[in-house]
């Protein structure tokens, strides 16, 4: 279908065409870029007046052609109107879409600001703060994010909260952007997002006639992952039940904290329990006080005062409200987020392919069986029946045999879980409004697992399977095959991709590398983009296949949340006369998170909107030493000027590890990974062990 929108004199006609496009392409993320582009050009995502429509029509002529190919392909184009030369036809084969990837902000509002200011597709515009407490309307900030151009998409990779002190600011900015630009903003579920579904289950729901008295707290006998730890919340050491009640002394039904053993889950107030939940079970030791400070800032701004008290119960209530499945910010985010997003030849996930030891053993068996029978396509068959093993929850009986079917099943599972969560909370709210006791509901975290599997499956608890899917392990069963929590790295390095694993007879690593490459091949992918595990101060590329240039395949791990802790290493062999050897991390400064105050990175992807083909993938930003950087195009990488350096692979030489502080000699045994070649001709090398990460810079002449 071809639709022409030219310099129409009547804005009513133009408005109707805009609306028609918006309705036609709403169901597809890339098609929606087209529709949103029509609405958003020079409007900052807001509705245009009739005068603005007419004015815009005289400036631009929009040619729109859209269709689907393999459930994805869409077209979008626009040309600049030249009053002297008239309209100009567009070569549709050259139309490109710009995709920006942001992930693991974890509540660091200052980093979000830096990202937007550094971005090639985003910017801020000034707005008037909105103090309306209607869900979705409250926005107490004087700026909001907008797109610079209509031919772009932002994908957010998950993990919104917990460590940066501005949880509400970050999530409201992204929700606001999504509300104005719709499918041009895509969300992924991270483990730190999914685990917030526990908040209402373990704190209890709260309605207007419930004064949050301690007796409304659900009975909590601990969490399964602390079992045997001896820590507070260890189910083996927590208080036992007596008719589903605490057996310790109470007055008027109120549990006395001093009457409980120190190993029991805090139950004197919602505030005390929430402090324990965040710090001891969610890896967020500072989140409670960060939320208090953020609420204090909001209230001071709203009421025009210098200081205001925010109590523990205020903080608990804020978490209850923000984690509500329908009214809360996190609920709204999860309702719009997915577990995997495919845009053409690029796949976006929070973690990594869920290749557990059991799945790899199964693939090794397939490979060995195929080699015995002489099947030369053994590698391509690795996924023939492995997708079902990657889905431990109850799913359709129809075998999953392709990557697209796997992604679709992930989407169905996530939607079903979120809808079940909404139903469950609605039931509990109804019970509370009728003054029924809802404190005896079984808490998922005591036992864990996938409740939607087995003969005792309860539809109301289906959402708890998503809680399990967001965790790394299954109780009593080992690693959880989850695309959310898995990582491409082993102890801080992509060791499973080292090319010498075969020489060392590392069967698991060899099978892993073949499985990843086979996934790319059967899925027709060029890129998999993810976050989840910190990789230093810029994204870490992994070159998957043996080809370079346009046919190359890449993984990009983009979690830079520990940028400020990345150390710079100066090779002794080039100590004299090089400005690079004096590079030094500027530290965290006043930042509340590990990102510090300086580093920022944006992964940019250019994609042909007709074919889904990736033509460019590059990173730019600021490194932890404060220097600006821009990589070359990974899709055009070559070894020219370097004899022993290939981006996305181990360096073929050793760099003497000379740490300024001499803190961690264990790092000296690590290989170096080539992260990038920069536009100035230098190259960045990386090594790491756990959360200890190091950079070094190499010039071409050093290895020529």
**The predicted structure's pLDDT at residue 401:** 79
**The predicted structure's pLDDT at residue 671:** 83
Integer Cα distance of 87 and 81 in angstroms: 6
Give the residue from 697, 656, 657, 658 showing the smallest Cα distance to 674: 697
Question: Across all residues in the chain, what is the average pLDDT?
Answer: 79
Compute how many other C-beta atoms are within 10 angstroms of the C-beta atom of residue 195. 20
Integer Cα distance of 434 and 426 in angstroms: 12
Burial of 251 per CB tally in 10 Å (0-12, 13-18, 19+)? exposed
Residues near 121 by beta carbon (within 8 Å), at least 6 away in sequence: 98, 100, 147, 148, 149, 152, 154, 604
% of the chain at pLDDT higher than 70 = 71
Dihedral angle computed from the Cα positions of residues 279, 317, 178 and 555, in that order, rounded to the nearest 10 degrees: 10
**The predicted structure's pLDDT at residue 76:** 34
What the block records as the tokens of 575 is: 């100590």
The alpha carbon of residue 368 and the mean position of all alpha carbons in its chain are separated, in whole angstroms, by: 36
The alpha carbon of residue 303 and the mean position of all alpha carbons in its chain are separated, in whole angstroms, by: 35
The three-state DSSP-derived secondary structure of 118-171 is: HCCCEEEEECCCECCCCCCCCECCCEEEEECCCCEEEEECCCCCCCCCCHHHHH
Contact 664/692 with Cβ under 8 angstroms?
yes
On the CB side of 255, how many CA atoms lie within 13 Å of its CA?
A: 25
What residue ranges in 319-467 does DSSP mark as E strands?
337-338, 340-343, 346-349
DSSP state of 300: H
Q: How far apart are the first and last CA of the chain?
A: 54
Residues near 578 by beta carbon (within 8 Å), at least 6 away in sequence: 699
Contact 155/188 with Cβ under 8 angstroms?
yes
Contact 208/185 with Cβ under 8 angstroms?
no
Report the DSSP pairing between strands 60-65 and 79-80: antiparallel
**The predicted structure's pLDDT at residue 394:** 63
Dihedral angle computed from the Cα positions of residues 233, 236, 237 and 243, in that order, rounded to the nearest 10 degrees: 90
Spell out, as residue ranges, where the chain has pLDDT lower than 50.
1-27, 34-35, 37-44, 47-92, 210, 212-215, 241-256, 259, 376, 455-456, 572-581, 702-704
Strand partners, 559: 534
Residues near 663 by beta carbon (within 8 Å), at least 6 away in sequence: none
**The predicted structure's pLDDT at residue 260:** 56
**The predicted structure's pLDDT at residue 546:** 82
Integer Cα distance of 484 and 107 in angstroms: 19
Strand partners, 86: 82
- DSSP calls for 636-659: G---TT-SS--TTSB-SS------
Contact 439/241 with Cβ under 8 angstroms?
no
Report the DSSP pairing between strands 527-534 and 540-543: unpaired
**The predicted structure's pLDDT at residue 364:** 86
């Amino acid at each position: 279908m071809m639709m022409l929108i030219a310099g129409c004199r009547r804005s009513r006609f133009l408005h109707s065409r805009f609306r028609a496009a918006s309705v036609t392409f709403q169901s597809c993320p890339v098609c929606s870029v087209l529709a949103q582009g029509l609405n958003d050009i020079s409007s900052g995502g807001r509705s245009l007046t009739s005068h603005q429509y007419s004015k815009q029509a005289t400036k631009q002529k929009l040619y729109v052609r859209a269709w689907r190919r393999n459930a994805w392909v869409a077209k979008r184009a626009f040309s600049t109107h030249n009053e002297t030369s008239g309209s100009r036809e567009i070569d549709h084969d050259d139309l490109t879409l710009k995709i920006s990837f942001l992930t693991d902000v974890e509540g660091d509002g200052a980093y979000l600001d830096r990202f937007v200011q550094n971005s090639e597709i985003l910017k801020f515009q000034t707005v008037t703060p909105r103090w309306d407490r209607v869900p979705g309307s409250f926005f107490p900030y004087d700026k909001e994010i907008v797109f610079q151009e209509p031919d772009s998409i932002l994908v957010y990779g998950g993990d919104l909260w917990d460590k940066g002190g501005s949880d509400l600011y970050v999530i409201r900015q992204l929700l606001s952007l999504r509300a104005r630009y719709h499918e041009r903003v895509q969300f992924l579920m991270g483990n730190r997002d999914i685990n917030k579904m526990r908040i209402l289950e373990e704190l209890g729901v709260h309605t207007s006639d419930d004064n949050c008295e301690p007796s409304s707290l659900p009975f909590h006998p601990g969490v399964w992952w602390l079992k045997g730890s001896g820590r507070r919340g260890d189910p083996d050491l927590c208080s036992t039940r007596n008719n589903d009640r605490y057996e310790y002394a109470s007055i008027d039904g109120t549990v006395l904290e001093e009457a409980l053993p120190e190993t029991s889950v805090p139950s004197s107030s919602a505030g005390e329990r929430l402090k324990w939940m965040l710090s001891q079970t969610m890896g967020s030791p500072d989140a409670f006080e960060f939320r208090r400070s953020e609420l204090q800032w909001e209230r001071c701004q709203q009421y025009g005062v210098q200081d205001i008290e925010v109590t523990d119960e205020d903080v608990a209530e804020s978490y209850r409200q923000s984690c509500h499945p329908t009214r809360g910010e996190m609920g709204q985010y999860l309702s719009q987020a997915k577990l995997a997003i495919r845009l053409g030849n690029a796949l976006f996930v929070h973690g990594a392919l869920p290749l557990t030891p059991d799945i790899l053993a199964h693939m090794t068996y397939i490979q060995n069986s195929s080699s015995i029978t002489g099947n030369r396509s053994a590698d391509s068959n690795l996924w023939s029946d492995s997708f079902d093993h990657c889905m431990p929850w109850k799913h359709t009986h129809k075998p999953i045999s392709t990557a697209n079917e796997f992604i679709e099943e992930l989407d169905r599972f996530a939607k079903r879980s979120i809808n079940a969560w909404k139903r469950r909370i609605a039931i509990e709210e109804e019970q509370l409004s009728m003054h029924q006791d809802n404190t005896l509901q079984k808490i998922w975290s005591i036992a864990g697992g996938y409740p939607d599997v087995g003969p005792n499956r309860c539809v109301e608890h289906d959402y708890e399977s998503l809680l399990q899917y967001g965790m790394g392990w299954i109780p009593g069963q080992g690693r959880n095959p989850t695309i959310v929590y898995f990582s491409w790295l082993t102890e801080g390095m992509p060791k499973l991709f080292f090319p010498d694993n075969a020489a060392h007879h590392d069967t698991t690593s060899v099978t892993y590398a073949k499985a990843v490459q086979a996934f790319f091949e059967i899925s027709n992918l060029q890129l998999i983009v993810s976050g989840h595990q910190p990789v230093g101060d810029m994204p870490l590329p992994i070159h998957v296949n043996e080809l370079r240039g346009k046919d190359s395949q890449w993984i990009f791990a983009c979690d830079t949340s520990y940028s400020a802790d990345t150390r710079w290493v100066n090779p002794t062999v080039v100590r004299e006369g090089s400005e690079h050897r004096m590079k030094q991390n500027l530290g965290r400064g006043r930042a509340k998170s590990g990102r510090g105050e300086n580093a920022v990175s944006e992964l940019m992807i250019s994609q042909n909107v007709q074919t889904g083909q990736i033509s460019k993938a590059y990173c730019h930003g600021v490194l932890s030493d404060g220097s600006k950087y821009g990589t070359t195009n990974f899709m055009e990488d070559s070894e020219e000027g370097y004899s022993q350096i290939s981006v996305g692979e181990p360096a073929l030489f050793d760099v003497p590890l000379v740490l300024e502080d001499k803190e961690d000699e264990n790092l000296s045994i690590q290989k170096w990974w080539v992260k990038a070649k920069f536009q100035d001709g230098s190259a960045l090398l990386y090594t790491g062990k756990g959360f200890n990460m190091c950079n070094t810079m190499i010039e071409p002449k050093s290895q020529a």
